[in-house]
Structure formats: C-alpha cells, structure tokens
Amino acid sequence: MRFFLELRKLIFLALFIYLIIKLVIFSGLPTDYMIQITLYSFIIVLSSLGLNVIYGFTGQFSLGHAAFYGIGAYTSAYLSKVLEIESYYGLIPVIFLAGIFTAFIAYIIGGPILRLKDDFLAIATLGFGILVRVILDNSDRISEVLGGSRGFVGINKITNLELSFFITVFFIIITKNLIDSRFGLFWRAIKNDELAASSIGVNTFIAKLIAFIYGCFLAGIAGGLYAHLYTFLHPSNFDILKSIDFLIIVIIGGMGSISGTIIAGLFWVFFIEGLRIILPSEILEYRWVLIPIILILIMMIRPYGLMVKKEGY
Amino acid sequence: MNLLELKNVSKYFGGIKAVNNLSFIVKKGEILSIIGPNGAGKTTVFNLISGFYIPNEGKIFFNSQDITGFKSHKLSRLGIGRTFQNLRLFKNLTVLENVIVAFLSKHEYGIIDSVFRTRKYAEITKKAKESARGFLDFFGLLNKEHFYAGNLPYGEQRKLELARALATEPKILLIDEPAAGMNLTEINDLMETLKKIRNTFDITILLIEHQMELVMNISERIIVMDFGEKIAEGTPKEIKSNPKVIEAYLGAL
Amino acid sequence: MEILIYLTQQFINGIQLGAVYALIALGYTMVYGVLRMINFAHGDIFMLGAFISYYGITKFNLPFPILILSTSLLTAVIAILIEKIAYKPLRNAPKISLLITAVGVSLFLEYTLSLNAFFTPNYIGFPRPFEIRSYDIGMFSINNIHLIIFSVTIISLALLYLLIYKSKYGIAMRAASHDLEITRLMGIRTDNIISFTFGIGGALAGIGGLLYSMAYPQINVFMGIMPGIKSFIAAVLGGIGIIHGAVLGGFIIGISEVFVSAFLSSTYRDGVIFIILFIFLLFRPNGIFGKNIEKV
C-alpha cells in the first residue's frame, strides 16, 4: 500500500502519458513503423537502465550488455515457441522467466569477473559478449529452432504498447526504489571508493554482484520484449556495437541518473530511426562517422556524461 | 582486558619486510599511539588489522577471537573502524549520505523491503537519518548535511571521516594521521575532539600520528616502530627518555 | 605418421598467425605500460597497415622492403596523431573515459573508411607481392609467405630489442612504464616518450597488417577488430606491460587458434580464445610473467 501511496505521482504521470500515446495511435496519424519505433524505444530505455545500474551507479564498466539482452531475447523466443504462446498474458511469465534465466547467467559469470577492475573488467565483459555471439552463431547445433547464424525466425508478434510501456514503467519504479535504498547507497559508495566502502562494513563484492545481476535481469526482460516485437532474431543484433549503443545512452544521459537514461534512450532511438526516415541512404551511412565523434567530444568536455548531476535527495 | 592483540605478525612485499615479527596488545578503553619515521610500517599495521592485507606470518586476535585473514567488511561488523591517511570519503555522496551508508551496512533490510518500501524499510531509513544526524551534530557538521562530501573544507572532511567510522559503532577506532595538514589551532581542536570521542562513545583508540605534542598529550601508551619492528613501548614519559627512540626518531626533530 | 605431419603443418600455420598477433600485442603492452590504458583503436592501425600496403602494391608497385618501411612509417605517424588528438586531452580523466574515447576512435576509423567514398564495407582481394612457392621439407611443406613472415617478424623484434634496451628513448620508455610521474619529475619530456611508444606500436601493427594480408589475402575495414582484441588478450596472457610476455602470448594465442580451427571447428575458435582469457584473468590475472602485487 505504502508502495502505491508514495509513488502515486509517478503512477499518475505514467497513466497520463500512456493515454496520450494511445490517443495519438487511435487518431491513425502514426504509421505502423512509427508505432513500432515507439515501442522499441521503451525497450531500449529498459535495457539501458540496466546498464546504468551496473556502470552509472556502481561504476562496473561492461562492454557486454547486449549479450544479456540477447540471452533474454533468445530464451523468451525459444520458450514462447516451444510453449506455443500467442497471447500477451501468456507472454508475461515467459518474459519474466527469460529475465530470471539471464540473471542466472549474470550470477554465474559475475562471480568471477566482478573481481576485476576498470579496463580488465571491460575486456572480460567484451570477451563474454563475443563468447555469446559464438554460441548464438552455433545455436542450431543445440536446437534447430534457434536458427544459428541464419537467425531465429517466426516468433509470434505479441509485444504491444501496454506490455512494453507498463513493464518499462514498472521497472523504472523498482529501479528508483532500489537506488533510494541501502543497496543504491552501497552502489554509489562503491563507485566512489570501493575500499572505503568495505572499511565501513559494506560487502562490496555482494553489492556489485547484486547490481550486475539486476542490471542484466533488466536487459533480459527488454530482450524478451524485443523478440516478440520484431519476430526475428539474429546473432549480429546482439554484438559489441549494440553494447556500445547502450553505453552511449548511459553516457549521454549521465552516469547515475535515471531520468537522464530515460530521456537519452528515447532521444537515441528517435534520433537514429528519425535519421533513417529523413536522410537519403547515401548520407545515412555517415551516422556512424558522426556518432563516435560525438562520443569523443563528450569524453573530452564532460568526462562524466552530459546530463550528470544528482538524482533523488 | 585485551581488546586487540597482534602475535608475531609479519608482512612482506616482494623482498621487503614492511612489518617484521610485531607483537602488541591494545587494552580496552585506552588510547594507544603508534609513532615512527616515515616508512616504518605504521599504516601497514592498520591495513593488517582492518583486513586490507593478510599477514604472511603471525596471528591477530580481537576480543580473544582469531581474526587473521578476515575480510575488511566482516572486521568492520565485528567492531573495527578506521580512517585513512589520505581521506577516503565518498566525494559524490552528500555529507549525510556518507554517514548513512555506514549505519545501513549494519542495519539490514532486504531487496524485497527496498522494492516495495515496506514498514521495515521506512523504520530503518528513519533511524538511519536520525542516527547519522546525531553523529554530524557531534562534529558540528549538521548544517552542511546536504553538501557533497568532496566540497567540504579539508578539516571538515577529516571530521566527516571520523563521523562515518563512528557510525559503524566500532569497539576500536584506528585513526591514521588525523593531524596531517593541520595548523596548531586545528590540532588543539582535534585533541579535544579525540578525547570527547573516547569519553562519549566509550571506545578504544589506536592512533598513528607524527604530531608529537598531540601524541604525548593524548596517549596513555605509545609504541615506537622503525623498519617494520617495534623498538620501544611505554608511557609517553618513558618514551621521551628512551635513548633508542631518541636516536631513531625524536632525535631527528 | 599422417597425424604428425598434419600437426607440424598446423604448428607452422599457428606460428605464422602468432607472429602477427605478437607484433600487434607489443603495441598494446607498451602503451599499457606507459599510460595504463587499453588502446582500443590499436587493431585499426593494423587494418590501416593492410590498406596502406594494398595501395603501395596496386598504385605504386613498391618493392617489398620499401613497402614495409613506408607502411610502418605511415602507421607510426597515424598512431602518434591519434594519441595527440584524441588521448592527450584526457591525460587526467578517469580511466574509463579514456577507454571509451579509444572505442570512439576505433569506430570512427572503421566507419569513415567503410564509406563508399573510401574503401566501402566490402572485402577487397589483396594482391600478393610475390608468387607463392612451396618447398617440401621432408614430409611437410613450407612456403615463401611463411618464410617472409617469420623473417620479417624476427628482424622487427630484433630492431625493437635494440630500440628499447639500447636507445635513449627506449630506456626512458621503460622508466616511464615503472612510474610516469617520477620520470616526468626527473626532467624527461613524457609527451615525447608517449609519442615514441605509440609510434613504435603503430609501426609494428602496420607491419602486422601487411604480413597478415599476405597470409590471408582478403582485406576489409573491420578486419582489425578481432585480431586486435585477440592480441590484447595475448598481451594480458604474457603479463600486460611486459615486452617478451606479449610475444609469447601472441604465439600462444595464434597456435591455439589454429589448432582449435583444425581439430574442433573454426566457428569455435573465438570462443576458445576467450575461455583462455577467463581462465587467466581468474587464476593468474597478472599473466605468465607478471608478479602478483597487492595494493591498497
């Protein structure tokens, strides 16, 4: 009860935004493509939020976030295919299970690699990303359904506005609550000074592991939504470039800022997809020339991220 | 009663013996200082007691329990608190948050409590704020609770670090060079603060310090280290007149 | 007997690939030694080496020794410029900002060169500067590409050894990798040492790019990513910051990769390399030659 009372403002705001989107869609103005992009942008926000918990709040750099996003996508698509899920209420437990499975993988590999720091952690997570890519490329040897390097085809299109919007909002609220709790405080303390945190009794390893598992859980949930929105999965959708996408969103939004990640995630998807609509394809390929320059400039001018400053308190 | 005991503790780095066969006892309730020239191994002793290093040889006992090899967060929970020579505050957390973290590491609630903001969450959060404000009040930092810790002047950062260490409710507090970078007025102020801490919180203090006036004035006993070994131990009076100490350390002044 | 010949043949191929990884790994390890940064764009210098020599061969028809010299010179200059433009402004920034910048540089190079105005994202056939000739030695065969790769690598390593252990700059570089700050306080121009380090690393990676393209004659703007990452892993394996460690690591990675491809499947080779990395990071994070040092 307290949960709803304290957060009633946020919940009303979310309902209000939902109604507006619903009305706009109902008016028939946006094309199917635009609706799909809108749903996709919520999914990207959700997954980026996961990386922000890991990197932005706790300071544990990961270059393998897309791998967890991919694990969630493949797991949920496999489950829904095997269980012949066609309805959104059937999909909710499937996506939840996929999230749990992703979290479990994060727990297995987080144990050893979270003992590493900074750039060594970066290389280890990057390595994990490539390992997952190799496994996905060979996944048809595990089960024919997964499709290997040909891709996973014929997933039911179930993700709708309600699912992607409300699941994302729900986890934004959960994340905010976690950040405000003692765990969030431990995370931020660890990012500031891990040694000092352990000197005042914080079990820094467990705290980092919780952040990592939770962040990857969000990526897994987002992957599940993605799979049932686009109905086709390919290993190349979850490689290092995708991880860098998430990283850029966290950096632009400001490390350790929930609202920043939301805004940056939405902006990023509409920016990238918007360019695709506006620009002719010859110019479109300049995107990835421009993006790294922006990234480098941000690092030079604001090494801690664009919209960075405090959250809550 | 012995609160802390080091028995024949040694710590090597490569070929260098940073601490060599060191034994001493800290009695409950006393203020014991460790002095010695730079590089004598004093901070290494702190790092050994607080679990950042594991001794190569020897054992450490706390409240008669063998704590050799314990992790630092566990030692903190057992009641060993410390500060650092080069201040290690959480600079991007507020002053209040710095102290709350310390309180919350001992007062637990689970993830479910956090996610759903249960009654337990609310109660402990309230208690944490009250307790943290109490410590800030003690050090005169209450009016700055919303400042970022990194924005405090140096002297107040020192105080905040003490407040944070005390919020873990330690039985023994290891304080590493609190007077470093302070002028005489600030040192006198610090002396009063340290005495007040001991009396208010009924705590044992182990102090590393270079500032002789402070050490001689405040300590009940003093241990002198040089090249990783204990070369003398005694009351301030005894230490002042010990020829070995004068040669190794005080003579240099 | 059959299997023995096959093994020896694969071993030769492994050493060939390992030589290239060793050349790239040296750049990673030297830069890490001095700046404590992972120069993520180093693999792209390798790629540039391949493209520069492609033009050296097709447009200018350069003789092989000149081709090596000009390629290594150009990649050295590019590596130095990248450091001056992108990394130097971040000398005091958090470590991860530097890594992200390096990732940015890497993406920038790859995607700029993949534009249709430049090289396009497609594979280009790399013209070998000579005809392949195979020599049968007993039961197995070796070709002139193998021999050239081995000899160029050995000559490069010998020159590197002289440069690092005998030249003034090399000695200063090794001092800097102990402690950059103290080296600076001793009155040595650290900016010059850093440029020197990037230059040497860039030249070696450029040579690596040329040799690699001779052995695997298909080049592409993204070709530097995986060899780059694997060479970094090689540097970690040998103990990052340790010169001979990088060379040994390069050979270990190269040989393991060839053997995994030969006996398991080429699709698993990247996975196996990363499993080796994980094992090392867990049990011997300082590498084969690294010392374990505790720090607070």
Rounded (to 5) percent helix, strand, coil in chain B: 45, 25, 30
Which residues, at least 6 apart from C64, have a Cβ–Cβ distance to it below 8 Å? Answer: C129, C130, C148
Q: Do C294 and B14 touch (CB under 8 A)?
A: no
Q: Mean pLDDT per 10-residue run, chain C (296 residues)?
A: 84 94 95 90 96 94 94 97 94 84 93 87 87 80 88 93 88 83 81 93 97 94 93 92 92 94 84 86 81 48
Q: What is the pLDDT along chain A (313 residues), one digit of tens a residue?
A: 566 667 788 889 999 999 999 999 999 888 888 899 999 999 999 999 999 999 999 999 999 999 999 999 999 999 999 999 999 899 999 999 999 999 999 999 998 889 888 878 888 899 899 899 989 999 998 888 898 889 999 999 999 999 999 999 999 999 999 999 999 999 999 999 999 999 999 999 999 999 999 999 999 999 999 999 999 999 999 988 899 889 989 988 888 889 999 999 999 998 888 777 777 776 767 878 888 898 888 888 876 656 554 433 3
Residues B205 and B147 in one domain: no
B199 lies in some domain: yes
- Residues A128, C243: Cα–Cα separation, whole Å: 26
State the residue for tokens 């010859």.
A282
Q: Do A244 and C103 touch (CB under 8 A)?
A: yes
Question: A293 touching C, CB under 8 A?
Answer: yes
B24 lies in some domain: yes
What was the pLDDT predicted at C292?
52
Cβ atoms of B64 and B20 closer than 8 Å: no
Return the number of other C-beta atoms located less than 10 Å from residue A149's C-beta. Answer: 14
Question: C252 touching A, CB under 8 A?
Answer: no
Q: How far is B241 from chain A (nearest CA, A)?
A: 37
- Residues A194, B15: Cα–Cα separation, whole Å: 28
- Residues C199, B42: Cα–Cα separation, whole Å: 44
Pairing assessment for the beta strands B204-208 and B31-35 based on DSSP bridges: parallel
- Computed on alpha carbons and rounded to an integer, the radius of gyration of chain A in Å comes to 19
- Residues A200, A202: Cα–Cα separation, whole Å: 6
Cβ atoms of A102 and A223 closer than 8 Å: yes
Q: Which amino acid is at C80?
A: I
Chain B adjacent subunits, 3+ CB pairs under 8 A: A, C
**Could you give the ipTM of this predicted complex?**
0.92
- What six digits make up the tokens of B212? 């002789």
Task: Tell me phi and psi for residue B5, to 5 degrees.
Answer: -140, 130
- The set of long-range contacts for C273-278, using a CB threshold of 8 Å and a minimum separation of 24, is C273/C230, C273/C233, C274/A127, C274/A128, C274/A130, C274/A131, C274/C233, C275/A131, C276/C233, C276/C237, C276/C252, C277/A123, C277/A124, C277/A127, C277/C233, C277/C236, C277/C237, C278/A112, C278/A113, C278/A124, C278/A127
**Residue to substitute from A136, A195, A289, A290, interface C, most C β-carbons within 10 A:** A289
Residues B175 and B249 in one domain: yes
State how many domains chain B has. 2
Host domain of residue B227:
1-79+170-253
Q: Do B114 and A185 touch (CB under 8 A)?
A: no
Query: Virtual CA dihedral for C165, C167, C171, C173, nearest 10 degrees?
Result: -110
Rounded (to 5) percent helix, strand, coil in chain C: 75, 5, 25
As beta bridge partners, residue B221 has B32
Residues B95 and B136 in one domain: yes
What was the pLDDT predicted at A276?
75
Choose one of B169, B195, B225: the last residue of a domain.
B169
What was the pLDDT predicted at C153?
94
Q: How far is B216 from chain A (nearest CA, A)?
A: 28
Residues B153 and B125 in one domain: yes
SS3 of B8-66: EEEEEECCEEEEEEEEEEEECCCEEEEECCCCCCHHHHHHHHCCCCCCCEEEEEECCEE
Judging contacts by C-beta atoms under 8 Å, the chain A residues touching residue C277 are 123-124, 127
DSSP state of B225: E
What was the pLDDT predicted at A307?
54
3-state secondary structure of B252: helix
- CB contacts under 8 A, A 72-131 vs C, are 112-113, 115-116, 118-120, 122-124, 126-128, 130-131
Terminal CA-to-CA distance of chain C, rounded, Å? 55
Choose one of B169, B201, B222: the last residue of a domain.
B169
Cβ atoms of A167 and A225 closer than 8 Å: yes
Q: How far is B207 from chain C (nearest CA, A)?
A: 19
Q: Between chain B and chain C, how many beta carbons pairs sit less than 8 Å apart?
A: 8
Residues B162 and B107 in one domain: yes
Cβ atoms of B73 and B105 closer than 8 Å: yes
Residues B136 and B189 in one domain: no
B84 lies in some domain: no
Which residues, at least 6 apart from A53, have a Cβ–Cβ distance to it below 8 Å? Answer: A175, A178, A179, A187, A211, A214, A215, A218
Task: Tell me phi and psi for residue B135, to 5 degrees.
Answer: -65, -40
Residues B164 and B181 in one domain: no
Q: Do A196 and B97 touch (CB under 8 A)?
A: no
- What six digits make up the tokens of C47? 């790629």
Which residues, at least 6 apart from B166, have a Cβ–Cβ distance to it below 8 Å? Answer: B81, B135, B138, B173, B197, B201, B203
Question: A61 touching C, CB under 8 A?
Answer: yes
Residues B74 and B46 in one domain: yes
In whole angstroms, what separates CA C106 from the centre of its chain?
Answer: 15
B221 lies in some domain: yes
Domains of chain C: 14-123+141-283 (1.10.3470)
Q: Do C296 and B13 touch (CB under 8 A)?
A: no
Which residues, at least 6 apart from C197, have a Cβ–Cβ distance to it below 8 Å? Answer: C30, C31, C33, C34, C35, C173, C176
Which residues, at least 6 apart from A140, have a Cβ–Cβ distance to it below 8 Å? Answer: A146, A147, A148, A149, A150
What band does B251 get if pLDDT is binned at 50, 70 and 90? low
Residues B33 and B61 in one domain: yes
Mean pLDDT of chain B: 92
Judging contacts by C-beta atoms under 8 Å, the chain B residues touching residue A210 are 111
CB-count exposure of residue B1 (10 Å: 0-12, 13-18, 19+): exposed
Residues B60 and B183 in one domain: yes
- Residues A195, C136: Cα–Cα separation, whole Å: 61
In 3D space, the residue among B64, B73, B56, B48 whose CA is nearest the CA of residue B5 turns out to be B64
- In chain B, what percentage of residues exceed pLDDT 90? 78
In 3D space, the residue among A57, A299, A208 whose CA is nearest the CA of residue C99 turns out to be A299
Q: Do C97 and A119 touch (CB under 8 A)?
A: no
Pairing assessment for the beta strands B229-234 and B221-226 based on DSSP bridges: antiparallel
B223 lies in some domain: yes
What was the pLDDT predicted at B249?
65
In 3D space, the residue among B195, B208, B199, B167 whose CA is nearest the CA of residue B81 turns out to be B167
**Residue to substitute from A65, A137, A299, interface C, most C β-carbons within 10 A:** A299
Q: Which residue of B has its CA nearest to C291?
A: B14
Q: Do C96 and A124 touch (CB under 8 A)?
A: no
Residues B69 and B181 in one domain: yes
Looking at chain C, how many residues does it have?
296
- Pick A289's closest partner by Cβ from C111, C277, C296: C111
Task: Tell me phi and psi for residue A279, to 5 degrees.
Answer: -90, 145
Q: How far is C253 from chain A (nearest CA, A)?
A: 14
Range list of β-strands (E), C6-158: 124-125, 134-137, 140-143
Helix (H) or strand (E) holding B205: strand B204-208
B204 lies in some domain: yes
B214 lies in some domain: yes
Q: Do B52 and C296 touch (CB under 8 A)?
A: yes
- Residues A125, C103: Cα–Cα separation, whole Å: 14
B156 lies in some domain: yes
CATH assignment at residue B25: 3.40.50.300
What was the pLDDT predicted at A304?
63
Residues B144 and B23 in one domain: no
Q: How far is A252 from chain C (nearest CA, A)?
A: 12
Q: How far is C271 from chain B (nearest CA, A)?
A: 34
CB-count exposure of residue B227 (10 Å: 0-12, 13-18, 19+): middle
As beta bridge partners, residue B208 has B34, B176
pLDDT digits (tens, 9 = 90+) for B162-205: 999 999 999 999 999 999 888 888 888 889 999 999 989 989 99
- Residues B100, B135: Cα–Cα separation, whole Å: 10
What was the pLDDT predicted at A62?
93
Choose one of B146, B169, B192: the last residue of a domain.
B169
Residues of B with CB under 8 A from a CB of C: 13-14, 47, 52-53
Pairing assessment for the beta strands B57-62 and B65-66 based on DSSP bridges: antiparallel
